[in-house]
Amino acid sequence: MPSTVTRRAFVATLVSSAGCAALDVNRAHAAASGQSASAAPDPGLIPDLVAGNHILVRKGVIQINGHLSARHTANKNRFFLARAIAPETVAAADIMEFDLDSNAIDARGRTAYTERFIHSEIYKARPDVMAVVHAHTPSVLPFATSDIPLRPVYQLATFIGESVPVYKNGDRGEVVANVEQARELVRVLGNGAVALMHGHGEVVVAPSVRTVVSRCIELELNARILQNILAMGGKPVYLRPAPPAAQQGGGGGFSRDWDAWIQEEKRLIGR
């Protein structure tokens, strides 16, 4: 078994340079196969995407079937999303590049998530969005599938607006598996930061990976607080929503939160 020091060194490599190395491989393969390769994204993007997957699992936002994507910072018509594996196991080599029709640029045998159309249609419709999460968060689901609206009761969750809209896909909470369903979800999302999916889950969008991760965590907390108020038999006194501009661009993404989560991530992997 590797020593703690070796493992820590490995984690440092994973978080810093491996993302770039994996992307170099992606670009070389894409060039060899005749597909147009994009310029490199910001060097921090893939490491953030990998760490974000792990953080969202640890914070109870996503489980086996959730996913986090990021728009390419150097090509607005491309985005990055892991291949279809459990988010807690995602590493830089698992990150695939897609166009805005959800075609993989260079799949190399890797399987893509069925629900990737959620991401591509949001990026197509919302130039302000740079990161998307689709999740089935246990604390959020009761509001997706009942007559109780999800509204802000916690200061850091006022970005959700006055009340989170609900998209309904059939009577069985079906997955979004094509462009038409994804477009309807995007219509329900509108210019907001969050949409619920009846009997299924939610989508959360933001102008960066760090902000979308932060928003998901605050949304999850807001849902639990609201459930507690209702379980206590109380009447929620809802907060005033953030102004529309803040619902799009602002909210969450505090660097001290992210720094703490990364430290926790390193401690856990180095354990």
**Catalytic: which of 115, 121, 202, 220?**
115
Distances (CA, A) of 160 to 19, 31, 36, 74, 119: 32, 41, 37, 28, 19
Q: Helix (H, G, I), strand (E, B), or coil: what is residue 202?
A: strand
**At a CB cut-off of 8 Å and minimum separation 6, what does 242 contact?**
158, 159, 161, 250, 251
- Residues 250, 242 contacting (CB under 8 angstroms): yes
Residue 220 falls in the annotated catalytic set: no
Contact 193, 128 (CB under 8 A): no
Place of tokens 């989560």: 261
- Per DSSP, the residues of 221-232 read HHHHHHHHHHHT
* Tokens standing for residue 157: 């969750």
Q: Which two tokens stand for residue 142?
A: 């009761």
Catalytic residues: 115
